[in-house]
Amino acid sequence: MALRLGIVGAGAIGNVHAEAALRNGARVVGVWDLHAERAAACAARHGATADATLDALLARADVDAVAVAVPNVAHAECAIRALEKGKHVLLEKPMAMTLEECDRIIDVAARANRVLQLGFVCRGSPAAHAAKALVDAGRLGRVYHVKCSIYRRRGIPGLGGWFTTKSQSGGGPLIDLGVHVLDLTRWLCGSPKALRASGACYASFGSPIANYRYVEMWAGPPRADGVCDVEDHATALVRYEGGLTVEMNVTWAMNIPDGAMKDGVFLFGDKGGLAFQIFGNDLTLATEEHGRIADVKPILEPGDALAHAWDRQYRQFLDATQRGVAPHASAADGRAIQAIVEAIYRSGREAREVEV
C-alpha cells in the first residue's frame, strides 16, 4: 500500500515535500499549518484534506508518516509529538535548535520504534551521488581535505521573519545552509567523528532592515518591523578523526563581485580530487591516468538536479518506512551535524578552536 503522508507546516518547503512525495508513489492525505489558509491551499493543491490542529492530523489512522517542515524552533516539538503518536517522521534540517533537543527526539524515536529520517536532501543530487560512488570506489585515495561553500550576494531569507530571528531559527546561514554542506561532506568522507572546530560568524547586512538591498530572496520580502539578530556569514575549519579537515564558508549576503565565487564542494585525496556544484550538472575528477594528469567528467543523470535530489530523498524514506531499510540520513547524523554547528558558534564567540 502507498505510504500515506501528512504535511506538518505548509510553507515553501512543505509544498515541495508534498510534490516529491506524490511523484514517488506516496499519497498526501493530511496537511496542518499554524495558518489555516496555508494548510487549506496546500491540501487543495495536493489532493489532501486540511486538519485544524496538529493533534487532529496526528490522531488520524490513515496517516502513516509526516514530513515536518516548520520553522526550526518547532522541529523538536512536532517531531516528538508525531513519533509519540506512532508516525514515521521525515524531519527537515537542521535537526533542532540545540543538542539537548536532538537527544530528546532521538530518545522518543527509539522508544516509538518509528523511522526518523533527516532532510539532508543535498546528498541526493546527481553530482553528490556520483561523488559518493567515486569516493567509495577509492578513486580519490585518502581524502584529507575538503572545501565546501554556499555563497549568496544578497540572499537573506525573509529578512525580519523567522529565519533571521535567533529564537526561532537558532542562527543564520550556519544552521540554515552550513548544515547541508557539513552533512554532505561528512557523508562523502564516510561519516568520521568531528573532533574540533574553529569558526567565526559575521553580521554585516541584516540591519537596519530598511537599508537592505537584495537580488535574490527566499521566504518573502524584508519586513522593516522584523528582527535580524543572526549572522549573515559563517566560516569554519572542522577537524575530524583520522586527520580530515573541512573548510566551510556559507553566506546569505556578501560583497561578492558578480560570478566571482561559485558554490561548491571540493574533495582532495592522495589519488584524486573532485569538484562539483551541489545542484550543478557536472562534476570533475582530477586524477592521473596512464601516467598523465587528467580531468575526468562522468556523465550525470540528466534533468533537474534538485528534483532528482528530492526524488531520491523520498525513495529512501519509502524504503525506510515500507521495506525496513535503515534511514539514509539518520538522527545520529542530524545530531553529529548539530554538535559541529554548536561548536562553530561557540568557537566564534570565544575566538578560539573548541572541542566538538
Ligand X SMILES: NC(=O)c1ccc[n+]([C@@H]2O[C@H](COP(=O)([O-])OP(=O)(O)OC[C@H]3O[C@@H](n4cnc5c(N)ncnc54)[C@H](O)[C@@H]3O)[C@@H](O)[C@H]2O)c1
Binding positions for ligand X, rule: CB under 6 A:
9-14, 33-35, 38, 69-72, 74, 92-93, 119, 121, 162, 176, 219
Q: Closest CB to ligand X among 186 and 269? A: 186
Min CB(58)–ligand X separation in Å: 13
Beta bridge partners of 253: 154
Determine how many CB atoms are found less than 10 A away from the CB of residue 98: 15
Give the residue among 185, 131, 145 at the shortest CA–CA distance from 270.
145
38 vs 152 by CB, closer to ligand X: 38
How near is the Cβ of 223 to ligand X at its closest, in Å? 12
Taking CB atoms, the residue at the shortest distance from ligand X is 11
**Helices and strands, number each (H, E), in the chain:** 11, 15
- Least Cα distance to 183 among 197, 194, 172 occurs for 194
Least distance (Å) from ligand X to the CB of residue 98?
A: 14
Nearer to ligand X, 9 or 206 (CB): 9
- Collapsed DSSP state (helix, strand, coil) of residue 248: strand
In whole angstroms, what is the distance from residue 27 CA to residue 63 CA?
Answer: 9
The CB-of-286 to ligand X minimum distance in angstroms stands at 28
Q: Which is nearer to ligand X, 94 or 199 (CB)?
A: 94
Q: Specify whether the CB–CB gap between 69 and 17 falls below 8 A.
A: yes
CB of 341 to ligand X, least distance (A): 12
Cβ–Cβ under 8 Å, residues 91 and 75: yes
Q: What are residue 108's phi and psi, to 5 degrees? A: -65, -40
Residues 6 or more apart whose Cβ sits within 8 Å of residue 60:
6, 29, 30, 51
Taking the complex as a whole, how short is the minimal distance between the CB of residue 51 and ligand X, in angstroms?
A: 12
The radius of gyration computed from the CA coordinates of the chain, to the nearest angstrom, equals 20
Q: Which is nearer to ligand X, 119 or 348 (CB)?
A: 119
Of 166 and 196, CB closest to ligand X: 166
Quick check: 328 and 187 in contact, CB under 8 A?
Answer: no
Minimum distance from residue 53 beta carbon to ligand X (Å):
11
Which whole-number Å values give the CA distances from 348 to 41, 69, 113, 329, 351, in the listed order?
42, 28, 38, 27, 5
* Residue number, 11 or 327, with CB nearest to ligand X: 11
